[in-house]
A and B are shown apart, each in its own frame.
Chain A
Amino acid sequence: MPENTKQQDKNESLTRRRFLKSSGIALGGLAVGGALGSLIPFKEKTSVENVKSDKKTENYNLALMYFTQEQFRMVEAATERIFPADDNGPGAKELGVAYFIDHQLSGDWGFNSREYMQPPFFKGEKVQGYQGRIRRREIFDIGLRELQNYSLTKYKKNFIDLSDEEQDDVLTDFAEDKVNLTTISASGFFTMLRSGTLEGAYSDPLYSGNRNMEGWKMRNYPGSQMAYTDVIDKKFTVIPPVSLKDHLGH
């Protein structure tokens, strides 16, 4: 670990030096403040402490804020079918997508708190968008319950006990609205599950998904780099990813 950190520190300061050069700040002597000012000296203060500490860091984020254990398992299984492990790398389960969705549901997104939720509620045209009164966390409660019910009816088994093919079959029926639900749209729920999966696979690891940046590594996405001035006019370049955590220097 310390070895890695050192290497990373080295890479970081190189990037920073390169940035200063390419931005014309160091050369032109322009007084440019902003986030730049705070970015540049940050590193030196913290790196020393990091090297000293050899304690293993536990990830205390791997716990649930909203789902029941049963819901969590179902989300793990369903998202793994949407984004399965393969030769490219880990699937949704290993990336922590279910934790991501759980944590998102406990905040603004789960409560639709920055969306217009005032009555009256009318059914609209498709092009007018979502017009329901139910919020995302309730949609997940209902959707997961119905996913379970549908699995029990069709296969006499819990969703998580179905084979991969059977799980795909159930999810397809949801995606194609072959399941008739009264309170929510089956395909609407599936779409939310799918977009949550991609968000969990590829958002900054800060949000509990994309574990160890494995989602980014699979597709050679460099994550949160400060600058691309060195590669922008070059042929395809693989750059090891960095995350927002790296910008805080620990």
Chain B
Amino acid sequence: MREIKLPIDDETIRSLHAGDAVLLSGVMMTGRDAVHKWMIDTFIRKTREPQGDDLEVYEAIKKVLDHSVLYHCGPVVAGLDTGDYRFVAAGPTTSIREEPYEAEVIHHFHLRGVMGKGGMGPKTLKACQEEPAVYFHAVGGAATLIAQSVQRVLAVYKLEFGVPEAMWVIEVKDFPAIVTMDSHGKSLHEDILEMSEEKLKAIIGV
């Protein structure tokens, strides 16, 4: 299993291939549905004026995300009343919901990785080739185990989106994942989809 340090340089990204198992260590950030919508509306397509602390948060997360990983995750977090946050359960959420936005987010923030479960579509795969970046697949539901690899919560932004939807900046150590979409245009998800479609047709006879 390859150990990868965050932030990740381009040479390392290009050396990763679909099917590779990795252990990630370093600083990354969580972001899911509300975060993608907020990023796109406020800073990328700019259909909404920045409000409240939007600009400050934007400046802070730009630094975190540059050459790092955006993790599709809505964690269970302890210490909400004291601010002494601790991740209790933190498995990945389904990534495909972010397909309409992710390519633009990857380019805008110079992400080197997106992590979640279920894989993503052709727009994201193309962005991975161009940037370069990869898609890391975490084991869905393995929430307690993954939470153990989260060493510290460094910051949280937009907690008003709700605990699952906020942006949690976390330091991880040996976070287990599998590269399923690489920067060379290969997607394990596409391969499995095609193969299983052929088998389905043969089995049910359509």
Q: A and B from one assembly?
A: no
Binding site for B on A (CB under 8 A): none
B residues bordering A, Cβ < 8 Å?
none
